Amino acid sequence: MASRLKSENGFYGWVNLVVMFFFNIAFMMMMLSFALFLPSWVEEFSWSRGDMSLAQAVGMIISGLTAPLVGIYIMKKGVKTAIILGNIFSVAGLVLVSYQQYIWQLFVGYGVLIGLGMSIGGMLASMTVINNWFIVKRPMALSISMTSLGFGGVLFNPLLMRLIELIGWRNTYLVIAAASFLFCVILPALFLVNKPEDLGQLPDGPVALKAKRSNATQAVQTNLYKTPVDFTAKEALMTRTMWLLIGYVIVQFTAMQMMMSHQVTFLIDMDFSRTSAAFAGGFFGFMMGISQLGIGFLGLKIKMHTLAVVSIFFGIAGLAIILFANSMSIVILSNVLMGIGFGIQTIALGNLIPDYFGRTEFPKMMGYTMPFTIVFSAAGSPVAGYIRESTGSYIPAFQFAIAVLVLGLIFIFFAKPPLHPSLKRI
């Protein structure tokens, strides 16, 4: 199928980008499913919010612990195989959760199957596709791909909540499973290509050829840093910069988990309607999408490290404002600021690691770092749930999230480009 779409001078990377755009839309539905369905489970089963959030944490822990093997698997078997296999697991998990009657089924469906699926065929695989096909235009390509996550939230937050009201949460889960199978399994199976070299092309296509002929690169022209020598995964893990980036990601993901997993339930506790709560969350997704798209283009001119620092300030401001959520306008403003902050963060992460350490062993690097970033940040959702159970309010949980983000500001501020060991000897 790919060969039919490849013209003599055409660059197939753009086809891959379209595939990943729709892939991420369906992936966003899976990501949203827990927070949107949590109120329905509370009503039907009367399970503890902390216990249910623990199922999500188990999924994140499994995803993180298996990531090193996934990175190696992607390098050996290719990202296409990983995406197809992983999302078969995810679809199976969605179907199981739609029929759940006992909390252990939530742990198996969401914790084990979806956790494995998101590890094998989730964000690591998605970012690997973009990094395989783009170097000069990576910020722009990654932002286009990831923007669908943000805009997907705008569309699917109210849509899924409306579906829950019309056909029930169980049938809505089956709708998500069908969409995930179409866009995360069938579409990649038909059209995705692992690397440009598989089609006799180069990353960035004609842009790469022009750069070679002129002996100049976009990085030089714009004074943006890109490592002149690619690091191995082992060399990268030996640098202070990598561990500072890991710390930055942990605190961002922790705060995001605490907020996004419980915001709908928090707003319902505050006497907002379900539709209003989902609508507010849609603004988070909308601004996340806008910021991802904008940062992708700004990243061609402005250092991604600078943008990453800015992302923390937006996140802190958004969380601080929601502490005073007594009207929908304040809730929307909070979600706008948090959406911008977390949108910047997703693009920054996908660019800083390949910029600082190269693309050769990117899947392996991400695989080795994810046990730390995902496992530690997995605590965010259940911690917020248990704080709510013990104090009767989500406010202390969100205050804790603000403190966590302040720590992240310190991490990212000092995460400067490392020097490859071979260059230190020159």
* Residue at 207 is within a domain: no
Whether residue 371 lies inside any domain: the answer is: yes
Domain count, the chain: 1
Neighbouring C-beta atoms of residue 45, cutoff 10 Å: 14
How far is the CA of 158 from the CAs of 53, 256, 357, 370, in angstroms? 22, 20, 40, 31
Domain-embedded: residue 424: no
Can you give the CATH number for the domain in which 68 is found? Answer: 1.20.1250.20
Q: Using CB atoms within 10 A of its CB, is residue 407 exposed (0-12), middle (13-18) or buried (19+)?
A: middle
Residue 426 in any domain: the answer is: no
Residue 71 in domain = yes
Among residues 367, 346, 364, the alpha carbon closest in space to that of 119 is found at: 367
Tell whether 210 is covered by a domain: no
- The one-digit pLDDT tens for each residue of the chain (426 residues) are 555 555 445 889 999 999 998 998 888 788 777 878 888 898 888 888 778 888 888 888 888 889 889 988 998 899 999 999 999 999 999 999 999 999 999 999 998 999 999 889 988 898 889 888 988 888 888 888 877 776 766 677 778 888 998 999 999 999 999 999 999 999 999 999 999 988 989 888 775 555 544 444 444 444 678 888 999 999 999 999 999 999 998 988 888 888 877 887 888 888 888 777 777 767 777 788 788 777 777 777 888 889 899 999 999 999 999 888 778 888 888 888 998 888 888 888 778 888 899 888 888 898 888 888 877 887 888 888 888 888 888 889 889 999 999 999 999 999 999 988 888 765
What secondary structure letter does DSSP report for 200?
T
Residue span of the structural domain in which 397 resides:
12-196+218-419
Between CA 420 and CA 415 the distance in angstroms is: 15
Alpha carbon distance 164, 41 (integer Å): 12
For the chain, the farthest-separated pair of C-alpha atoms sits apart, in whole angstroms, at: 68
In a domain, 3, yes or no: no
Instruction: Tally the residues of the chain.
Output: 426
Tokens of 125: 């695989």
Q: Which residues contact 253 (CB under 8 A, 6 or more apart)?
A: 373, 374, 377, 380
On whether residue 335 sits in a domain, the answer given is yes
C-beta neighbour count of 252 within 10 angstroms: 28
